[in-house]
Amino acid sequence: MKILGRHLIAEFANCDNCRLTDVDYLKDCLEEAVRKSGATIVRSVFHRYNPQGVSGVVVIAESHLSIHTWPEYNYAAVDFFTCGDTVDPYKAYDHMKAMLASDEAHVYELKRGIPSETDEVLAHKPAQIQFDNAATSR
């Protein structure tokens, strides 16, 4: 695979369910996780469901972090997708585990990229693509 990024998929169990319903708390936690990882925040969007649960995404210059919570099961699913070699998604993972007060967590790492016979990490480079402003403003 021609590796463009790393995608951590985290399962956080036995979390503090009060934290899993607090949109502001989760937004602050995920944004701090971004900072701890060395990534750059672009924009955050969070939504609280009725009667419970939260989904949120923090778009970063290096890809995204996202969360979805099930307070009724004391569970959160969190993704950390990062590109480049300057970001450490495991720092974000450690921060979220602590902030959710999860006492049982599992993390899986996937390499993301272009299928290939050999493994190599591709360097990110400036795009050579010319964008049509009308197409990108839709």
Q: What is the CATH number of the domain that holds 6?
A: 3.60.90.10
Q: How far is residue 135's CA from residue 116's CA, in Å, rounded to a whole number?
A: 31
pLDDT in tens, 50-109: 999 999 999 999 999 999 999 999 999 999 999 888 899 999 999 999 999 999 999 999
Active-site annotation, residues: 63, 68, 83
Domain count, the chain: 1
Q: For 11-25, how does the pLDDT look when each residue is reduced to its tens digit (9 = 90+)?
A: 999 999 999 999 999
Contact 39, 60 (CB under 8 A): yes
Range of the domain at 103: 2-136
Instruction: Provide the whole-model pTM.
Output: 0.84
Alpha-helical (H) ranges within 1-138 are 23-37, 89-99, 133-136
